[in-house]
Amino acid sequence: MAGPGGDMQWCFSQVKGAIDDDVAEADIISTVEFNHTGELLATGDKGGRVVIFQQEIENKSLPQFRSEYNVYSTFQSHEPEFDYLKSLEIEEKINKIRWLPQKNAAQFLLSTNDKTIKLWKISERDKRPDGYNLKEEDGRYRDPNTITALRVPVLIPMDLMVEASPRRVFANAHTYHINSVSVNSDNETYLSADDLRINLWNLEITDRSFNIVDIKPANMEELTEVITAAEFHPHQCNTFVYSSSKGTIRLCDMRISALCDKHSKLFEEPENPSNRSFFSEIISSISDVKFSHNGRYMMTRDYLSVKIWDLNMENRPVETYQVHEYLRSKLCSLYENDCIFDKFECCWNGDDSVVMTGSYNNFFRMFDRGHRRDTTLEASRENGKPLQVLRPRKVCTGGKRKKDEISVDSLDFNKKILHTAWHPQDNIIAVATTNNLYIFQDKVN
């Protein structure tokens, strides 16, 4: 059965996380990100932990084993804090992880919670020094008087140890909750965005940041929109975009002025008046924005759809994909159970031909831009046999339900896929359900 990308067929590869139905809140996955080579896969959770998986290329002759990801490092990135001045607890939940391009043997990533961004260095140690003159094997000091000969200590192999250490802490720059971080293509700066402001940082400097966007009105009661996501252009170090709760995206050029309150481009699609409802504003709020790898397009995710925008055309998207249009008639219930506030992310594949996003019932959707095909797949342990091919799922919107279809009312809205990631080069995807991480790969891969 052909799927997006021609003959791509997705197979189960691995699942990480507890099998328990009873989900511990700290284990809820809050972000997923491949590094630039795809060798490392990082997840952040509500408990403030970061878990990094590494791809083990165990058996090159058998391609199906190429994408085994095993735990490489686990560390506590953020701890719960308390803001005494405002009497507010600061959650330790990791909102975003972004990898830095690799410059040396160590790996670096930025992880952020609501208020503080941290730069972590992940390095390997596989040798240890041996043969000290003044120290015994167990570390005790030797009496210098007993030493009769000198030797040069040597490095001997040891079991691989992966160490994570916080190299920079970027704190106290955000009054509101941080929703995005994005590393610039210049590899020196990065931006962090909260509800009302975007700050520009130098990776080396923690006590200072530049405010580049500020949409806070003088009178907060006049507030009409907030910033929901922001990202640097993949190649142009002067360009970034930010999306808003009103469904608009602004592209800014940092060369024009220091404060980028005035956008260079405003991307907005006029609302379809026939779709107007109580909840129009909520569902038009953009939850994620991602540039394509080639830098010519950007993708936005709102509650019901994914839109692809050409950076040269501001008045409408070039492509719109309905993720779960059958939910449009259920918006009132989704408002009551809070699901309407869910923030789904989206991602591009390596060559920008396919986009992916999550939905409910542990379904996730892929849209093949070239072949104009879309598919719905499910992340479930029932389909968890190694290399089992995922069969496409279908939601029955009304009338007679066919065999294998699931009706809208049977969907489990507690099982949501908010975070997905696509390997930068291969057809390997990481899909996060509430507390499990699924890895799927293309059968051919």
Partner 1 sequence: MEVNMEARRILAVSISKLYASRSQRGGLRLHRSLLLSLVMKSARDIYHSSREEDAPSGAQSAPEEPMETSSGPEVPEPQPLSERNSSETVSEESDNKAKDYDCDTVDDKENLSPTKQSRKRRGKASAAPDFLPNKRARLEPGEERYSAPLGSCRVGAGESLATLSLNQVIPAF
Contact residue for partner 1 among 162, 215, 226, 339 (CB under 8 A): 226
Residue 378: how many other CB atoms lie within 10 Å: 21
Contact residue for partner 1 among 59, 133, 172, 175 (CB under 8 A): 175
Contact residue for partner 1 among 90, 106, 215, 408 (CB under 8 A): 90
Is there binding between residue 21 and partner 1 (CB under 8 A)?
no
Contact residue for partner 1 among 21, 221, 382, 409 (CB under 8 A): 221
Stretch that binds partner 1, among 63-71, 258-266, 279-287, 416-424 (CB under 8 A): 279-287
Stretch that binds partner 1, among 183-191, 264-272, 273-281, 431-439 (CB under 8 A): 273-281
Q: What minimum distance in Å lies between the beta carbon of 247 and partner 1?
A: 12
The C-alpha angle with vertex 350 and arms to 349 and 353, in degrees rounded to 5, equals 55
Beta carbon nearer to partner 1, 86 or 400: 86
Beta carbon nearer to partner 1, 140 or 276: 276
Is there binding between residue 86 and partner 1 (CB under 8 A)?
yes
Is there binding between residue 228 and partner 1 (CB under 8 A)?
yes
Contact residue for partner 1 among 145, 146, 148, 219 (CB under 8 A): 219
Residue 73: how many other CB atoms lie within 10 Å: 20
Q: Which of 257, 260, 373 is nearest to 319 (CA)?
A: 373
Is there binding between residue 114 and partner 1 (CB under 8 A)?
yes
Q: Which residues pair with 192 in a beta bridge?
A: 181, 199
Stretch that binds partner 1, among 53-61, 272-280, 317-325, 421-429 (CB under 8 A): 272-280
Contact residue for partner 1 among 159, 278, 315, 382 (CB under 8 A): 278
Residue 32: how many other CB atoms lie within 10 Å: 21
Q: Which of 336, 384, 417, 331 is nearest to 15 (CA)?
A: 384
Residues 22-61 that bind partner 1 (CB under 8 A): none
- DSSP structure class, residue 334: H
The label of the residue with tokens 């055309």 reads: 313
Write out the DSSP string of 87-127.
TEEE-----EEEEPPP-SSSEEEEEE-SS-EEEEEEEEEEE
Continuous H helices in 151-227: none
Beta strand 288-291 pairing with 265-267: unpaired
Beta carbon nearer to partner 1, 207 or 222: 222
Q: What minimum distance in Å lies between the beta carbon of 278 and partner 1?
A: 5
Beta carbon nearer to partner 1, 86 or 151: 86
Residues 410-423 as b/e (b if ≥16 CB within 10 A, e otherwise) read ebeeebbbbbbbbb
Contact residue for partner 1 among 41, 52, 110, 196 (CB under 8 A): 196
Is there binding between residue 338 and partner 1 (CB under 8 A)?
yes
Stretch that binds partner 1, among 71-79, 277-285, 384-392, 404-412 (CB under 8 A): 277-285
Q: What residues contact residue 26 under an 8 Å CB cut-off, 6+ apart?
A: 45, 46, 47, 48, 49
Q: Which of 389, 395, 388, 384 is nearest to 437 (CA)?
A: 384
Residue 84: how many other CB atoms lie within 10 Å: 7
Q: What minimum distance in Å lies between the beta carbon of 91 and partner 1?
A: 4
Beta carbon nearer to partner 1, 388 or 434: 434
Is there binding between residue 137 and partner 1 (CB under 8 A)?
no
Is there binding between residue 65 and partner 1 (CB under 8 A)?
no
Tokens of 118: 């941290």
Q: What residues contact residue 104 under an 8 Å CB cut-off, 6+ apart?
A: none
Is there binding between residue 79 and partner 1 (CB under 8 A)?
no
Residues 308-317 as b/e (b if ≥16 CB within 10 A, e otherwise) read bbebeebeeb
Site size for partner 1, by CB under 8 A?
A: 34
Using CB under 8 A as the criterion, which residues of the chain lie in contact with partner 1 when the complex forms? 86-91, 93, 114, 175-177, 195-196, 219-226, 228, 245, 278-282, 285, 332, 335-336, 338, 341
